[in-house]
A and B are shown apart, each in its own frame.
Chain A
Amino acid sequence: MAPPVAPATPPDDALDGDAERPRPRGLAADTGQLLIEGVRAFRGLFDVALRTVYWSLKGRREKGVVLEQAFEIGNKSVFFLTVTQGFIGMILVFQSGLQARRVVPDLTMLGATFLELLVRDLAATLASMMLATRVGAGIAAEIGSMVVTEQVDALRMCGVDPVDWLVVPRFLASVVMTGVLIFYAGAIAYFAGGATAWAVFDVQPQTYLNARLLDIGDVSIGLAKCVAYGAAIPIVSGWCGLSARGGSEGVGIATTQAVVFSSLAVIILNLVISGVGFVLFPV
């Protein structure tokens, strides 16, 4: 069964490293070129996303491929997320405690508000930003290398969609493992913040461990962000890797773009989901 949209070549217009094309002159021409390239890039990204979803539902994979990617994305990110989220949790609680203490010397709700903030937004967003740097860069570099070494062309010659072969296993693994890692990272940040609150502000653990402000809206928004970020990072990174051109320089550019665009995707999705969540579950 053929995918709904299966371009023969990857979206090569998304890159700005095409030195052979004469650069247009004038502000209007530059703006027009930027707009056209943006539309083409978005169309390419949309195409990759659509084919990813399609092959996720219809495609077949070798045994262990998704598991291997889950190990790469999930288990190998545990230490990285433990360190980063631990420090972020400590810093957030320390700074917010300092600011709150300037207003009123009452930090009994520090844990409750921090937990709500983590579940609703920060745990998913910050962990996904970290994953975008590690996982997104890895996916883009791996796929980009295969593109510049013409392995992807070989796949096409064999009648295999590179999205099905390269992106979908990472997509499936990321959707699952990003959620798991976000839960784990949120817990690490929360308990690291609790230790900071206890050590710096004398907030007792019984007081800090307060889930009273959590409601179904917070958890729903947090879970939606987990799924959205877990899907966005491999799609955007895979698209960037498939867009790589040239040699190692192109792979580097694709890797950088993967980090930038994945982070940007996380931020934009955060804005959208938070807005929808605010309408559906007002604070």
Chain B
Amino acid sequence: MAAERAIEVKVGLLVLVGVALLAALVLVMGGIQLGQRFAMAVDFNNPGGLQSGAPVKIAGVRVGSVDRMEFRGAAPDPRTGRAALVRVHVMIDARYRPEIHRDAAFYVTTQGVLGEQFLAIDPGSAAQPLIDTAQPQEGIDPPRIDLFLARAYSLLDDTVTALRSNRRQIGTMVDDLSGILHETHGLLARNGSRIDTLIENVDRTVRDADALVNGARERYVDGPQIRRIVNRAESVLATVERDLPPLAHDARALTNRLNHIAEGVTDTQLEDLRATLHDVRTLVGRANSIAGDVQAVSTHVRSGQGTVGALLMDDEIYDDLQEMVRDLKHNPWKFFWRE
């Protein structure tokens, strides 16, 4: 009886071990979810090899998993306005909710070279508000290695076809290129010393140019003269900046007054002003004519012509008048009596 009991216990233990292993397998396969989680959706046009159950990671730390993948087609989502072919629904542990901000980036990447693909989240800047989990986010599609290889293969195929169909031209081109290289080699060999000299000259020129640039910089950029000019210009600018506002204010006031005066002039006054200006113009014309006459008389007088001219300009008359005045001073009676 005891032996039978022992057998029962041993068999029962083994069966329990098997059942426990099966339960563990089912739990592991289904993903053990012990904490609170929140749902998010990320749109991709092509999420690559991402599959349901794939991990979701932030900075390499697993924070959740892909719940399911939904093929939506090309119709745009009325909520986002985007047309994404695939919407990936993910479940993320609730304790990571405060770490995902509005500028977070969602992309599919691979663990290792050929490892499993997972959804990585760049949580974004802490200065940004938290992400709206009710709104589907736009994911960054993984690079299409297959597409790249297909296009590279097409390009390679075109290249090979072009090479095969133009084999003669390519041969000629290679021959020409070889000839050019051969000639260049001979040219270099024949003019080695001259090329050395040329290089030395170029080197010297470069050094001179460098010294010139340095001198110019010291003189015209870093020199005291430039500094003074700049200081003066700054002073002038400061003065202008200081005095310009009052000047502008005065000019504006003067303009306002002129406008005010102009606005106060009536049409009749304007006609009078025009008539006055016309009279002034006439007077000025006449004055100019009189000045011309005066100038002609003056010229006539200066040339000693006429009575006044002879009186003013003839020395003999002057001498006679002086003699006569002197004689009259000595002989005043000649005013009244003639010899």
Which residues on A are within 8 Å of B, measured CB to CB?
A: 64, 67-68, 70-71, 74-75, 78, 104-106, 108-109, 112, 119, 176-177, 179-181, 183-184, 186-187, 210-216, 218-219
Contact = CB atoms under 8 A, between A and B. Distances in A.
Contact of B114 (A109, A181, A215, A216): A109
B264 to A, nearest CB: 95
A104 B114 contact: yes
B113 A106 contact: yes
B99 interface: no
Contact of B22 (A108, A112, A183): A183
Nearest to B23: A183
Given A71-B7, A183-B18, A106 B28 contact: no
Contact of A219 (B14, B18, B29, B115): B29
Contacts of B28: 211, 214
Interface residues of B, number: 25
Nearest to A216: B29
A108 B115 contact: yes
Interface in B1-51: 4, 7-8, 10-11, 14-15, 17-19, 21-22, 25-26, 28-29
Given A71-B10, A71-B11, A211-B28, A180 B18 contact: yes
B54 A180 contact: no
A143 B270 CA distance: 145
B112 A108 contact: yes
Nearest to A64: B4
B269 interface: no
Contacts of A106: 112-115
B182 to A, nearest CB: 47
Contacts of B111: 108
Contacts of A74: 11, 14-15
A267 B312 CA distance: 158
30 contacts: A64-B4, A67-B4, A74-B11, A74-B15, A75-B7, A104-B114, A106-B112, A108-B111, A108-B115, A109-B115, A119-B25, A177-B15, A179-B18, A180-B14, A180-B19, A181-B14, A183-B25, A184-B14, A184-B17, A184-B18, A211-B25, A212-B54, A212-B55, A213-B116, A214-B25, A215-B29, A216-B29, A218-B29, A219-B26, A219-B29
B142 interface: no
Nearest to B53: A212
A279 to B, nearest CB: 20
A183 B20 CA distance: 9
B116 A212 contact: yes
